[in-house]
Amino acid sequence: MHWQLPIRQLSLLHKKHSVMETILLSDNDAELLKAAQFIKDGEIVGIPTETVYGLGADASNPDAVAKVFAAKGRPADNPLIVHLADFSDAVHYTQNIPELAYKLAEKFCPGPLTMVLPKNEKIPMITSGGLDTVGIRVPSHPVMHKIIEMSGCPIAAPSANTSGYPSPTSAMHVMRDMKGKIAAVVDGGQSEFGVESTVISIESNDRVRILRPGCITREMLLEVCGEVIIDHAILHELEAGQKAASPGMKYKHYSPKADIIMVEGDIKSFCKYVEDKVDEKVYCLIYDGDEFTIPCKYLTYGKNSSEQAHWLFQKLRELDDIGAEKVYVRAPSADGVGLAVYNRLIRAAGFEVIRA
């Protein structure tokens, strides 16, 4: 990395946590004001969004951002997305915004789309992981929106999980991972989409590249852009020495403690493949409505891609809670929103896919 973290934030990153009280806030205005005040004061707070829960900090305060990296155990070169109340605020934190970004914003903001744009000096290097670009998103969740407005801060908010573990889709998940490490968690119910935002870079005035798939799909982006490239690293492991278009691509992600094995095929061939592998600690994760014909314990994660996106992380966490050690997952379709689900699972599975 050509960029060096200032000593002050470096020491905050590696500081041993003194355990702090983490309060649970509800989503009425009085409680949201408390959350906003914590953020203004440089503390960090778990916040609901329409994708997954985020760990929010004032993106322009390097010490607050250092606390986010420390609480998650996140590698310092993995940048944070900055959340704004309205896309028109992006001019305060970025520069040379391409025309296409405005067109995309008109169609998809507020919503689960993150655009990587050239940053300006208001975004400290620690927030962008040392890059000269920053991911900008305008969330649609009313609670997140209110907290941004009440705090008056641009809010850096990565997913509120311990780095590497499945993202949180409820306040309880955030408490599990972050209790004692952060000031508060705001309970805004279950996340609607269930997977993180679609991250894109803008390559020309007609072409974008998907760096992380989400609920804004390639097909939806094609309604605004002439060309939408799906980065190779979304479905394939980076080769040794290969540079990642997005730093998050380098890291193991979304993994529960259990071993995840992805199996492609219809439910009949899936059952046939797993049949002789059934054991006390073995579970299956299959579709709702699948005709399951083998004596193995199982959970389901929805019958179509949107439901699977909504439930995936919750089910991966549940499998750990019930003591699963090995989980055979019936692979989702990789089309539309399914690409986001497939991308999370193939990473959780360490890129191993079995064709039954």
* Contacts to Mg ion by CB under 5 A: 159
Which does residue 116 touch among Mg ion, ligand AMP, none (CB within 5 to 8 A, set by kind)? ligand AMP
Q: Where are the alpha helices (DSSP H) in the chain?
A: 7-14, 29-40, 62-72, 99-108, 142-151, 171-178, 218-221, 267-274, 305-321, 338-348
8 A C-beta contact, residue 249 and residue 238: yes
Q: Is 170 a residue that touches ligand AMP (CB under 6 A)? A: no
DSSP assignments along 194-235, one per residue: -SPPEEEEE-SSSEEEEEE--SS-HHHHTTT-SEEEE-GGGT
Q: Which is nearer to ligand AMP, 133 or 304 (CB)?
A: 133
Site for ligand AMP in 278-337 (CB under 6 A): none
Token representation of residue 187:
């309970």
Interface characters, 197-236, with ligand AMP (x: CB under 6 A): --x-----------xx------------------------
End-to-end CA distance of the chain: 42
Q: Is 55 a residue that touches ligand AMP (CB under 6 A)? A: no
* Half-sphere exposure for 180 (CA within 13 Å, toward CB): 7
Q: Is 158 a residue that touches ligand AMP (CB under 6 A)? A: yes
- Nearest-approach distance from CB 338 to Mg ion, in angstroms: 19
Site stretch for ligand AMP (CB under 6 A), options 91-99, 126-134, 261-269, 304-312 = 126-134
If residue 353 lies in a helix (H) or strand (E), which one and from where to where?
A: strand 353-355
Q: Which is nearer to ligand AMP, 178 or 271 (CB)?
A: 178
Site stretch for ligand AMP (CB under 6 A), options 77-85, 98-106, 187-195, 318-326 = 77-85
Q: Is 252 exposed, middle or buried (0-12, 13-18, 19+ CB in 10 A)?
A: exposed
Q: Which residues bind ligand AMP (CB under 6 A)?
A: 78-81, 116, 128, 131, 133-135, 158-159, 196, 199, 211-212, 246-248
